[in-house]
Amino acid sequence: MFHPLPEELRDIAGQPFPLYPCSNESWSIKPTAGRSSSRVMICSIPKAGTHLYARLLGLLGLVQSDVFFNKDYLGDFRFVDVERARFTHSENILWIPIEISSRFIQPGQFGYGHLPCDIGTRHCLADFKIVFLSREMRAAIVSQMRYVGDSDWCPPERAEITWRNEPDGPDKMLKYFDEIAPFIFNDRCHPVAPWADQENVLGLSYEQIIGDQGREVQFETIRRIVEFCEIERPPQPELILNQLIGQQTFTLSSGRTSWEACWNAEIEARFTALGGTRLNERFGFGSR
C-alpha cells in the first residue's frame, strides 16, 4: 500500500519519524488499533501519573503511541528502551507541532503530553477524548525535582544542571526553585490547568489511581476511563490493578515522594508565589 503525504504534511517528510499507512489513506503513529473507536489524549501536569495512566490505558486495550506530545514539538520514544529513555531526551525531540502530529493518532490509539488548554490545541484535539491528570502540587513538584536528578532532562535553553546528583532535601529543592520551577509552573502547569474546567473532559488524579483513596476508588477510576473512552471488552479492574501499580515507567522515581522531607518555609513561600496554592485549590486539593 502506498500513498503520499498530503501537501499540508510534507514539511515533515525529511524527519526521522516513521509512519504507517492506513486503508483510509491516512497515516498512523502505530500499525495497530485498539478496542475503541475513539482517539484519546492524556493532558497532564508534570508528575501527575502521566505514564502510569498511559500504562493503564494500554492494559485496557488501547494502543499507546509512545510519543510525548507538546504544542511545538514531540518526543518520539517508540523505539527506545524505558531505562534508556531517561537519558536520551534531546536525541528524541522532533519539531513537529501538534497541528500535524495529532493527525497520526488513529481510533483506538492514544497519546499523552503536557499540552496547553489554548484555542489552537483545543481545535487540534476537538474530536479526541481528553483525559486530564492532576496531583497535589507539592508532591508533584518534589517528584519532578527527583526526576531531574535521575535523568538527563533539562528545560529549554539549558545545557546542564550542576546539582542533579546532590542528595534530596531542602537545599536541593531551593536550587530547583531557582533554576527549574518557574519553567515548570509557567510553561507546564498553569497553561495546562484550564483543562480541569472544560466540558467533556475526564478529570482524574494521581492519588485516585495510586490507591491513596482506597481500592474501590481505584476500581471506579478504571471504570470511568472505560466508559469515557468507549473501550470495548475491557479486562476486569481487579486484574488490571495487579499488573499496574509499581511497574517501571519512563518517569517513575524510586519510591513514593515525601514532599515534607524536601520542604521548608522559604520553599513554601516560593511555591505560593509561583501559584502552587492556587493550582491545588483549582484541582480540589485545598490550600494545604
Residue ranges covered by each domain of the chain: 7-143+187-254
pLDDT above 60: residue 198: yes
- What pLDDT score does 286 carry? 81
Q: Give the percent of the chain with pLDDT over 90.
A: 71
Q: How confident is the model at residue 250 (pLDDT cuts 50, 70, 90)?
A: very low
**pLDDT tens per residue, range 97-107:** 999 999 999 99
Q: What is the largest CA-CA distance in the chain?
A: 62
Question: Which residue shows C-alpha cell 488513529?
Answer: 106
pLDDT above 80: residue 35: yes
CA dist., res. 78 & res. 68, Å (int): 10
Phi, psi angles (nearest 5°) of residue 277: -65, -40
Show the CA angle centred on residue 286, arms to residues 280 and 288, nearest 5°: 90
- What pLDDT score does 261 carry? 92
**pLDDT tens per residue, range 107-137:** 999 999 999 999 999 999 999 999 999 999 9
Q: How confident is the model at residue 31 (pLDDT cuts 50, 70, 90)?
A: very high
Q: How confident is the model at residue 86 (pLDDT cuts 50, 70, 90)?
A: low
Please name the helix (run of DSSP H) or strand (run of DSSP E) that holds residue 94, with its range, or none.
strand 93-94
**Alpha helices per DSSP H over the chain:** 50-59, 82-85, 98-101, 119-124, 137-149, 170-179, 181-183, 206-210, 215-228, 237-244, 265-273, 276-283
Cβ contact 119:194 at 8 Å:
no
Cβ contact 211:256 at 8 Å:
no
Question: Which residue shows C-alpha cell 536525541?
Answer: 91
Whole-number mean pLDDT of the chain? 90
pLDDT above 70: residue 87: no
SS3 102: helix
Name residue 132's amino acid.
Answer: F
The burial of 179, by beta-carbon neighbours within 10 Å (0-12 exposed, 13-18 middle, 19 or more buried), is given as middle
- What pLDDT score does 175 carry? 95
The fold of 7-143+187-254 is: Rossmann fold (3.40.50)
Characterise 228 by phi-psi region: left (phi > 0), alpha (psi -120 to 50), beta (else).
alpha
- What pLDDT score does 153 carry? 79
- What pLDDT score does 170 carry? 96
**pLDDT tens per residue, range 135-164:** 999 999 999 999 888 877 778 776 688 888
Q: What residues have CB less than 8 Å from 261, skipping those under 6 apart?
A: 168, 169
> If you average pLDDT over residues 37-58, what whole number do you get?
96
Return the number of other C-beta atoms located less than 10 Å from residue 77's C-beta.
18
Kindly report the pTM of this predicted structure: 0.92
Compare 223 and 287 and report the one with higher pLDDT.
223
Name residue 284's amino acid.
Answer: G
- What pLDDT score does 64 carry? 94
Between 12-21, 71-80, 195-204, the lowest mean confidence (pLDDT) is in 12-21
- What pLDDT score does 247 carry? 57
CA dist., res. 269 & res. 260, Å (int): 14
- What pLDDT score does 248 carry? 46
Phi, psi angles (nearest 5°) of residue 161: -125, 115
Q: Could you give the angle at which helices 50-59 and 237-244 cross, rounded to 10 degrees? A: 130
pLDDT above 80: residue 260: yes
